[in-house]
A and B are shown apart, each in its own frame.
Chain A
Amino acid sequence: MRIKSASSTIPEVDMTPMIDVVFQLLAFFMMISNFEQSEADERVSLPKDQLAKPPENKRENSVVLNFGFERDKDGKVLDPNPYLFFGDEKFTVQSVANRLRQESQFYSTIGTDLADVTIEIRADQGVKTGMVQELIQLCQEEGIGFQRFALKATQKVE
C-alpha cells in the first residue's frame, strides 16, 4: 500500500526564545516603573544637589506640595508668578490655606498625629525663597498645624 506524503506541511515556529525575551523585557519594565513618584509635577524644575539622596526608609505620611511655574512644552516659563499645583488645580500661596486645612483635617480624622506628617516641598529652582518661607509659615498656622518639613532636590551625579 502506498503511503501518501503530505505535500503542504506547516512549518512549526519555535516560540520559546521569543517568549523568554519578552518575559525578560516585561520584568525589566516592571522593575523600572516607578509609581511612587506619581505625585511629582513635571512643571516643577527642582534644584540639583549631590547630597540629595532618596531616603532609605520611605515616610509613611507625607504631603507633597509642588510649587513651580506654568511652563510650555519646551520648559519656558509662561507666567512669572509661581503656583502650587494639585493635579489640574493651581493655587497661589495666599489662596492655598483652605486646601492645606483640608489635608490637615484629613490626617486628624484618620487619627494621625500631625507631628508624624512630613510636608515635602518640591519647589522650582527659580522660585523666590521668601515665598517658600511664607508657604512653610502658612503650613504651621493655627488650624493647619503641620510641623515637619523637607525640601526636595534632584540628585546630581558627578
Chain B
Amino acid sequence: MKIRNRNAGTTKIEVPMAPMIDVVFQLLIFFMLTLKIVAPEGDFSINMPLGVPSQSAVTDADLPPFRVRMEADPQTGELVQLLFNGNALGNDPRQAFPLLNREVMRAVEALKATGPGNLDKQEVEIDPDYGLKYEYIIAAISSCSGRMENGKVIPFISKIKFAPIRQEQ
C-alpha cells in the first residue's frame, strides 16, 4: 500500500526561536536591573553679575531690583523673617512664600501697566543670611519666577540674582 505524503511541495521552514528568546531575556533583565526611578528634575536659571558684585547695582539705574531679604536663625538655618522690598512677610514658610508670590504678582502687574518692555528688564535680588537652608532659596526663587494656575505656569520675573555674600554669624 502506498502512503501518500500530504505535505509534499509545501514544506514549512522552522525558524529557531530559542537564541532570540535568550537574547531578549538577557536584554530584559539588563533593563530591569538598571532601572532607577527618579523624580524629574527641573532648574531655575540664575543671573550672576560678572566681576565684582557691586557692579550689578549700576546696570539698570531706572529699575531698581526687587529685593527679597531672608533672615535665618544662625543655629538651625531656619527662616526667621522674609522681607519683600522691606515689607515683612512673616517667618512661617507655608504662609510667607505664597505671600511673597502674591506681592511679586502685584508688582509685576504694576510693572506691566508702565510699559511692555519693563518686565523683561526687571531683576530680583535675593539677599539671604549665610546660614539659611538652601531649600528656602529655591522656594523664594520659585515664588518670584512664576505661579502655577490650572497646571500652567504663568511666568513673572526671569532675571534672578544673588546679593553679595553675607558673613557667617
By a beta-carbon cutoff of 8 Å, the part of chain A in contact with chain B is 1, 3, 15, 18-19, 22-23, 25-26, 29-30, 32-34, 37, 40, 46-47, 49-55, 120, 122-130, 132-134, 136-137, 140, 147-155
Contact = CB atoms under 8 A, between A and B. Distances in A.
A53 B42 CA distance: 4
B86 interface: no
Given A1-B1, A29-B35, A33-B31, A150 B132 contact: no
B147 to A, nearest CB: 8
B65 interface: no
A134 B43 contact: no
If over half of B's interface residues share one DSSP class (helix, strand or loop), that class is named, otherwise mixed; here it is mixed
A47 B45 contact: no
Contacts of A53: 40, 42, 153
A123 B134 contact: yes
If over half of A's interface residues share one DSSP class (helix, strand or loop), that class is named, otherwise mixed; here it is mixed
A99 to B, nearest CB: 19
Contacts of A51: 42, 44, 142, 145-146, 148, 153
Interface string B21-49: 10011011001101110111111111010
Contacts of A3: 3
Closest 5 CB pairs of A and B: A130-B130, A52-B42, A29-B31, A125-B135, A47-B135
Given A15-B17, A151-B138, A30 B31 contact: yes
A49 B1 CA distance: 85
B66 interface: no
Given A15-B21, A50-B142, A52-B44, A130 B133 contact: no
A154 B43 contact: no
B138 A153 contact: yes
A148 B45 contact: yes
Interface string B86-100: 000000000000000
27 contacts: A19-B17, A19-B20, A19-B24, A25-B28, A26-B24, A30-B31, A32-B35, A34-B38, A37-B41, A47-B135, A47-B139, A51-B153, A52-B43, A52-B44, A52-B138, A126-B133, A126-B135, A128-B168, A129-B70, A129-B137, A130-B130, A130-B165, A133-B165, A134-B165, A136-B162, A140-B48, A154-B42
